[in-house]
């Protein structure tokens, strides 16, 4: 078993065109399960390079984000509305913020302080329009490119795994 927790044959398969196409729905599933995408994005950089990895991660992230948004909008929104009805001040804040939906989505997507997966659900529960939400996903591109480039800089999956495995000196991280 590879130190990256993936067998060599799986790494080989992921590097094929079919594996690259499979990476997109796998990444979407990862996002739908509300798991952090940083490590998967870095793995994409290792496997597909900074450009190819960024394209695949962006596609998978958008698919997964839309799935969680729609789940929040359809399944759990009634529950959220009932909870907010008991807090009129929070409801007023939510409405005011959502009147600037696209700006809000873009700004929170650009900030690493807001977890991507949880934002998808929060926006699904909110009054933000699906149009503003979808366009605002463009804001994940800088982070996507950053993490894929970091993964690509690590190069070999074993070297990438070594960086994640434990403490490293400054020269290794540089």
Classify residue 115: in a domain, yes or no. Answer: yes
Stretch 58-78: mean pLDDT, rounded? 92
Burial 116-149 (b: 16+ CB within 10 A, else e): bbebbbbbbbbbbeeebbeebbebbeebbbbbbb
Domain count, the chain: 1
Residue 49 lies in a domain: yes
In a domain, 1, yes or no: no
Assigned domain for 2 exists:
no
Confirm whether 20 is domain-assigned: yes
pLDDT bucket at 3, cuts 50 / 70 / 90: very low
Q: Is residue 142 part of a domain?
A: yes
pLDDT tens digit sequence for 24-47? 999 999 999 988 888 899 999 999
Whether the model clears a pTM of 0.85, i.e. scores above it, the answer is no
Q: Predicted confidence band at 5 (pLDDT cuts at 50, 70, 90)?
A: low
Supply the range of the domain harboring residue 134.
8-173
123 within a domain of the structure (yes/no) = yes
Does 3 map to a domain? no
């Amino acid at each position: 078993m590879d130190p990256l927790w993936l067998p060599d044959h799986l790494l080989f398969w992921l590097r094929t065109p079919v594996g690259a196409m499979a990476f997109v729905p796998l990444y979407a599933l990862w996002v739908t399960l509300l798991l952090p995408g940083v490590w998967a994005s870095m793995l994409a950089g290792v496997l597909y390079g900074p450009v190819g990895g960024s394209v695949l991660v962006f596609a998978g992230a958008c698919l997964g984000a839309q799935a969680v948004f729609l789940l929040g909008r359809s399944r759990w929104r009634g529950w959220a509305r009932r909870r907010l009805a008991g807090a009129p001040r929070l409801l007023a804040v939510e409405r005011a913020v959502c009147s600037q939906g696209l700006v809000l989505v873009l700004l929170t997507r650009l900030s690493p302080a807001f977890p991507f997966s949880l934002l998808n659900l929060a926006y699904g529960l909110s009054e933000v329009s699906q149009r503003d939400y979808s366009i605002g996903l463009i804001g994940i591109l800088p982070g996507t490119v950053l993490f894929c480039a970091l993964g690509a800089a690590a190069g070999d999956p074993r070297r990438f795994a070594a960086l994640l495995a434990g403490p490293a000196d400054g020269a290794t991280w540089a």
